[in-house]
Amino acid sequence: MEFEIKERQFLPKNFKVKDWDTLKPYFDKLLDAEINSAEDFENWFANLSELEAVVSEDMAWRYIKMTCDTTDEKLAASFEDFVRNIQPHIAPYSDKLNRKALASPYLSSVREKEGYNIMIREMEKDVKIFREENIPLQTEISSLSQKYGSISGAMDIVHDGKEMTLQHAAVKLQSTDRKLREEIYRKISSRRFEDKEKLDNLFTELVKLRTEVAKNAGFDNFRDYMFSAMGRFDYSPQDCFDFHESVKSEVVPLLNDIAKERKEKLKIDSLRPWDKAVDISGKEALKPFKGADDLTEKTIKVFNKLDPFLGSCLTKMVEMKHLDLESRKGKSPGGYNYPLSETGVPFIFMNATSTLRDMVTLLHEGGHAVHSFLMNDLALTDFKNPPSEVAELASMSMELITLDYWDTFFDNEEDLKRAKTDHLQGIIETLPWVATIDKFQHWIYENPAHRVEERTKAWNEILDDFSDSITDYSGLEKFKDNLWQKQLHLYEVPFYYIEYGMAQLGAVAVWKNYKADPVKGLASYKKALKMGYTKSIPEVYEAADIKFDFSKKNISELMKFVKEEMQKL
């Protein structure tokens, strides 16, 4: 892949973000700039875009390095320095720059250009919700959110005399030895329970601060504030409630079917939580790769078979050492693809062991990465920041449109069939979990003064609504009570979760199109991703030849397609 980082036009070539004093002159320059024509205005936006790209990439590297090693206090301090000593200064300048742009007599002329209308809509929203008094609160929230990764990253268990991360230990939940599975489940759950109170207190403090931010900005609650802050122009809380109901009626019954079959195939009297990951045929867990290098090489092969451009994206990331894939003690939990706005080559972080889930995670994050590459030619940084409903469409679709090439990871038909079946069942299981987390967040922030006991009660009621009725949690209630604490989004990126459900439905539709016509299906997928955030969410989905629709009818049709594909395996 031929790839060039664009030369800077506004900032010095060797400029690096050291502290606020080094950045301030460039914000002042933009604020004081004279804009005497539409061309001046576009150049001003280009300079602002360059500054935003440099600043966001600096913060990105601080975050990446900190999550790669949570034990290094210097790395944590560097990120904390940005959050406490740089970001708070940027916020009021961003507001002033937004107001300068919106007051320009040339606004109407640039609004007509593709992408600018979406960006200006975002600026108007940002001006509406900005409050100076929220800056220190948001600084405190960012600092507290980071503690979740530190607490979770320090969690491990001892098994057979060896320390293991929870990610490594969880692999043993796929073992055919039921006693071992129970032992590991109880050790993992007990370890999480040790920090229950600490994580409860952290979350309570976050809810309090977030609610204060919302009230300061004139909103009734943090949910309504976040719908505005996240730019959810294309759907409302009621649409989310409709999604919850659609999933409950159309998907949860399928969960019960899966659980019943699992219980019967495993020939057990009671289906327990430690029975949910083992293969129902009684075979040991699939191991599609050996180590991070093997995972990377095989994923690149899969991408190349689908489209050589896709493979070249990951190859470029390997060349630039923009991958950190293996699980190890001291790493933050989870996985992510972090866009790097100036370089244009993102960074993928994950905690791979040897599982099918790890394989799918890299396909997923690889979809995000490809999205970054496809947006590189867009003129402004804002155009390259699509809403998560679009970003997750890129990643979740990649999981499915690569299915025909999963034989790269498996050398026999039986294992390949198991892998595909497991993944398609995972789609059915994902949607109810998304509905659970999203509905829980609505309750949390509609009732911000709740006590921990009330939170636990609400969690269990919501979880039960979207769970199968077969799994037996008898004697494990205290572990079930705090299952939500493993979902980092609740702590770090509140209300970023419903998007997974919406995008999952979109991804199934993209896959359905691809199965009908691979060439046209892939072309429509790439066309939609290239748009970045220059069009609304429904318009991007339309470009991909799919619907932004979470009605019972649409969900029922898509689930029917998934079931039909599973029956063909």
Could you list the beta-strand ranges (E) of 98-177.
156-159, 162-165
Give the whole-angstrom CA distance, residue 10 versus residue 133: 31
Cα angle 395, 49, 536; round to 5: 45
pLDDT digits (tens, 9 = 90+) for 161-214: 999 989 889 989 999 999 999 999 999 999 999 999 999 999 999 999 999 999
Nearest alpha carbon to residue 482 among 202, 277, 239 = 202
Give the whole-angstrom CA distance, residue 303 versus residue 310: 5
pTM: 0.89
Mean pLDDT by 10 residues, the chain (569 residues): 80 95 97 96 97 97 96 95 95 96 96 94 95 95 91 92 91 94 97 96 98 98 96 94 96 95 95 94 89 97 98 97 93 92 96 92 97 96 95 97 98 94 94 97 98 98 97 97 96 93 97 98 98 97 96 95 94
Strand, helix or coil for residue 11: coil
Q: Dihedral angle at the C-alpha atoms of 21, 6, 124, 37, nearest 10 degrees?
A: 100
Q: How far is CA 13 from CA 5, 7, 8, 168, 340, in A?
A: 12, 8, 6, 43, 17
pLDDT digits (tens, 9 = 90+) for 417-471: 999 999 999 999 999 999 999 999 999 999 999 999 999 999 999 999 999 999 9
Q: How far is CA 547 from CA 510, 537, 541, 543, 553, in A?
A: 10, 10, 6, 10, 12
Helix (H) or strand (E) holding 470: none
Percent of the chain with pLDDT over 70: 99
The number of beta carbons lying within 10 Å of the beta carbon of residue 88 is: 15
Helix axes 252-266, 413-446, angle to 10 degrees: 130
Nearest alpha carbon to residue 155 among 192, 189, 190 = 192
Helix (H) or strand (E) holding 324: strand 323-326
